[in-house]
Structure 1
Amino acid sequence: METVSREFVRAAPRLDGMVVSAVGYRTRGEQPGLHRGLPSPYLTLIFSLDGPVVTGESPEQAGGRDAVRTDIVLGGLHRSPAYVLRPEYEAGIQLAVHPLAARALFGVPAGALAGELVTPGADVLGHRAADVRELLCEQGTWQERFASLSGYLRRCAADADAAGSVRPEVAEAWAWLARHRGTGTLRGLSRHVALSERRLTTLFRAETGLSPKQAGRLMRFQRARNAVVRPVAAGAAPDLARVAADCGYYDHSHLVRDFREYAGVSPSGWLAEECRNIQAGSHGGGEE
């Protein structure tokens, strides 16, 4: 029986805040199964280096004929898990992209990606992305791959004039939600940006694919997930009641309900699935 190996390599994106995190991954000898791609306040961009990524909105779809199979994954903001078929061998680079950078990097607002859980990235990004993926597959080190990917994204941003710009009220609304760690009220937010609640929600949803309230909840969930992961990475058990209080939940039960909504399982259930990957370094690292 082949020994299981897991390699996760992080890079500092250095793309003016457009990319929040970059992780290179390579696993071998895994038992085939399903992985949950959890919702977050960031877009997902994956360049697979070892066969297509196979995903679905349910375990049945991911394992069936209707699964989405693509070498480049582009995922918009979503509020339910994406189920990813985990093969015995896999490798790639996964980026967490700020949703307000979608126009600059992808040529469309994040709201345009909200219709599907996962979009074949080449359909949006075109042949240049496919060429970059081929280059990444040929390169021998993570350092080379990260440098090539950063160069590609910088070129995308330099050519982004046709996509327009994010309205300043929406940009400030996102920043305000982030400062309040997802716990501010819509009334307070609308007053801050001097727009009615209805008008703000319309503009915000068109740009990101979510309402301000939905985005705030994802920010809070992301913070809670990171807080749950940190002690596990250090070999300790998380204090879920403390996490709930620190992250703005009413109580422990409220945190569990959010986990069940966004992950499909309880915090303890998710940790049982992800424990080995967390300890290998696949979670955390600045996405907060």
Structure 2
Amino acid sequence: MPSYVHRVPGALAPYVRSCVGYDYRLAPEAAHHGLPSTGITVIIAFDEPLDCSWLDGAQRARYDTLLAGLHTRPSLIRTHGHQHGIQLSVTPLGVRALFGAPAGAFAQVLVDGDDDSRIPADLQRRLQDIPWRDRFRLVDEHLLRRIDPAGASIRPELARAWHLLGTRAGAIRVKDVAGEVGLSRRQLLTTFRHEFGVTPTQARRLARFDAAQQLLKTGWQAAEVAARVGYADQPHLNREWRALAGVTPSQMLDDFPVVQDEVP
């Protein structure tokens, strides 16, 4: 089950934090949980459209390209035995620069990535039957052409708040973030939610979840992870995992492991 981790060009680095190609052969009944994250997910499907919904079945549709904004519940991808495509994790700044809108415009929803030619259908078709290196090159070229320097900015106080909540997720209170960026707590809540589509508390929760995932994937034990990233204890981590991911940490580790192969 190969996957290929592509390093985007430096000019895209502020906007795209990861780019992974994958080609998984699975049991026909296998399903994959799309986990909440501090990145906005873009998936370009090959061979067959992506069969995706929220875990409760809401918004189920088939997507040649999918954009999933910041969210606090898992999605469900029905694999039908084969998943083949490219997945991008886009930063909030990248959503503005590449797609011309704040991340808040896409929060808690699954949308067709071809809307407004964000990932046009002709690009999705061109990517189908070419080598991986060429696929990544075409995606890079498309995104580089889309960068709008005029739109690539977030209010400095909101960018700072996002950074604080992401890097100190287990050790900083929202009230303290508001004070550091010079806003009242109410002002921070209103402007932050408009920009990112989640509240500061939810952003801190997503950042802590991201950090925990990375540590678990590198072999840390759950109790150690809970203490490191700011959960009260391991049961607290497990409760958060079920709420955000719909699975336990151990089940998550068994779900679509990313193993980097050499890009052919």
AA aligned to 2:112 is P
Q: Map of 1:68-107 to 2, 5 A cutoff?
A: 68-107=61-100
CA distance in 2, matches of 1:201, 1:93: 34
**Aligned partner of residue 147 in structure 1, secondary structure:** helix
1:132 positional shift: 1.6
Go from structure 1 to structure 2 and tell me whether the alpha carbon gap of 1:258 and 1:29 turns closer, same or farther (over 3 Å shift).
closer
Once the two structures are TM-superposed, the CA of residue 34 in structure 1 deviates from its matched residue by 1.4
The aligned runs of 1:12-23 (5 Å cut-off) are: 12-14=7-9, 15-23=12-20
Bigger relative contact order, structure 1 or 2, given CA contacts below 8 A and separation 6+? 2
| Separation (CA, whole Å) in 2 of partners of 1:214 and 1:124 | 28
Q: Whole-Å Cα distance in 1 between the matches of residues 196 and 170 of structure 2?
A: 15
Alpha-carbon distance in 1 for matches of 2:64, 2:149: 24
The question of whether the paired residues in 2 share the 8 Å contact of 1:183 and 1:217 is answered with: no
SS in 2 for 1:93: strand
Structure 2 counterpart of 1:220:
208
Q: How does 1:155-194 map to 2 (within 5 A)?
A: 155-157=145-147, 159=148, 161=150, 163=151, 165-181=153-169, 183-194=171-182
How far 1:124 moved relative to its partner? 4.0
* Aligned mates of 2:72, 2:4 — CA distance in 1: 27
- Alignment deviations for residues 23-73 of structure 1 (CA, whole Å, 9 cap, x no partner): 000123533321100101110001111111011113545xxxx62111000
Does 2:16 match 1:26? no
Kindly provide the amino acid, as one letter, of the partner of residue 242 in structure 1.
E
Counterparts of 1:3-82 in structure 2 under 5 Å? 6-14=1-9, 15-58=12-55, 60=57, 67-82=60-75
Task: State the distance in 1 between where 2:252 and 2:167 align.
Answer: 27
For the 8 Å contact 1:182–1:215, the answer to whether it is kept is no
Indicate the structure with greater helix content: 1
Amino acid at match of 1:142: W
| TM-score, normalising length: structure 1 | 0.84
Tell me by how many angstroms 1:133 deviates. Answer: 1.2
1:121 to 97, 110, 113: 113
Q: Which amino acid aligns with 2:81?
A: E
The number of equivalent residue pairs is 258
Q: CA RMSD in A?
A: 1.9
Q: CA deviation at 1:102?
A: 0.6
Gaps of 5+ in 2: none
Moved more, 205-214 or 82-91: 82-91
Seq. identity, %? 37
Deviation at 1:89, TM superposition (A): 2.3
List per-residue Cα deviations over 1:73-125 (Å, max 9, x = no partner): 00000001000111222210000111222111111111010152x11111243
Unaligned runs of 5+ in 1: 1-5, 232-237, 283-288
Q: Is the 8 A contact 2:94 2:152 kept in 1?
A: no
Matches of 1:261 and 1:240 in 2, distance apart? Answer: 16
